[in-house]
């Protein structure tokens, strides 16, 4: 009966999961092969490491890789850190909690490109912030807040966009913890921070890991926020890939960047997931 159930499950999953795996696998295969000189739009196909060598030797690539990793790590960890206290606050329903929860999750329904343009209207030379600063006398002329070199605009947008998603996952996990467990910890003398460190965080580690992984992958490959509000002195991996594709049609080198971006997403998300579990285990024992 076991093998029949297995075959039944496989048959039920094949129409949906099979199509997804085929599409993702084919895209990944073409990108990898193109990075090694195959699937050329012009010229002959032949195996070559030249494209990898040119990209890896480029300082622009190393800067784009470190920049994208930085934005992704800050977005993932920052969103989870901000979402946890809100999820705990909203754990028990109170008057207005549904409205507050809905407002906090509203950014999920705003496209990233629209959000970045709205943000630019706020921080532009004639935006709301500069108008307010001049009105209160803090400055005599507009100051530059757009496309800052520290990428604070991109960080703000990433946190604003990803906080609701982390909140959605963590709220469900926190609400699943029974009151008896928290009351028992309180009776044993555990304070608010100890209850979070030894009870709430370990019981919601899977939701935390899911939030970190999904947010990291999305932020690492972001294009909309970077191209509108990002710094002008550095490109993200997505920007660099588009630049290579548009400049003299360097599709093979663009494929190298794309494969590297997929590697960054896989490696970075796994590292964050493992570190989250290790840190929580150490915190629970301490």
Higher pLDDT, 81 or 191: 81
Q: Residue 16: its pLDDT value, please?
A: 64
Provide the whole-model pTM.
0.85
Q: What angle do CA 280, 285, 286 make, to 5 degrees?
A: 100
Confidence of residue 286 (pLDDT cuts 50, 70, 90): low
How far apart (Å, rounded) are the C-alpha atoms in residues 84 and 20? Answer: 32
The two counts, helices (H) then strands (E), for the chain are: 15, 0
Q: Which CATH number fits domain 58-285: 3.40.50.620, 1.10.3720.10, 3.30.70.20, 3.20.20.70?
A: 1.10.3720.10
Given a cut of 70, is residue 14 above it in pLDDT?
A: no
Domains of the chain by residue range: 58-285
Report CA-CA distances (Å) from 14 to 9, 24, 75, 137.
9, 14, 34, 65
Across the range 204-211, mean pLDDT stands at 91
pLDDT tens readout for residues 106-121: 888 888 888 888 888 8
Given a cut of 90, is residue 61 above it in pLDDT?
A: yes
pLDDT tens readout for residues 65-91: 999 999 999 999 999 999 999 998 888
Total length of the chain: 286
Q: Residue 285: its pLDDT value, please?
A: 61
Across the range 260-285, mean pLDDT stands at 84
Helix axes 205-220, 152-175, angle to 10 degrees: 150
| Nearest to 203, CA basis, from 86, 76, 87 | 87
CA atoms within 13 Å, Cβ hemisphere of 159:
14
């Amino acid at each position: 009966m076991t093998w029949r159930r297995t075959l039944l499950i496989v048959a039920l999953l094949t129409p949906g999961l099979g199509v997804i795996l085929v599409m993702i696998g084919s895209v990944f295969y073409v990108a990898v092969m193109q990075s090694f000189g195959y699937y050329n739009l012009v010229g002959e196909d032949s195996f070559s490491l030249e494209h990898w060598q040119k990209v890896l030797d480029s300082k622009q690539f190393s800067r784009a890789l470190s920049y994208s990793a930085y934005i992704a790590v800050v977005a993932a960890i920052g969103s989870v850190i901000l979402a946890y206290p809100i999820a705990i606050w909203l754990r028990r329903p109170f008057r207005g909690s549904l409205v507050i929860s809905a407002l906090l999750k509203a950014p999920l329904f705003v496209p990233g490109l629209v959000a970045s343009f709205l943000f630019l209207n706020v921080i532009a030379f004639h935006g709301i912030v500069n108008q307010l600063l001049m009105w209160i006398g803090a400055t005599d002329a507009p100051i530059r807040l757009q496309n800052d070199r520290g990428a604070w605009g991109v960080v703000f947008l990433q946190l604003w966009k990803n906080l609701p998603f982390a909140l959605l996952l963590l709220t469900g996990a926190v609400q699943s913890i029974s009151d008896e467990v928290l009351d028992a910890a309180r009776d044993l003398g555990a304070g608010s921070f100890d209850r979070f460190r030894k009870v709430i965080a370990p019981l919601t580690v899977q939701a935390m890991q899911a939030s970190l992984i999904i947010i990291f992958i999305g932020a690492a490959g972001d294009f909309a926020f970077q191209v509108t509000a990002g710094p002008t002195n550095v490109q993200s991996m997505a920007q660099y890939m588009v630049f290579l594709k548009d400049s003299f049609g360097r599709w093979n080198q663009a494929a190298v960047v794309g494969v590297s971006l997929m590697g960054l997403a896989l490696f970075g998300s796994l590292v964050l997931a493992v570190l989250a579990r290790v840190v929580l285990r150490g915190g629970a024992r301490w």
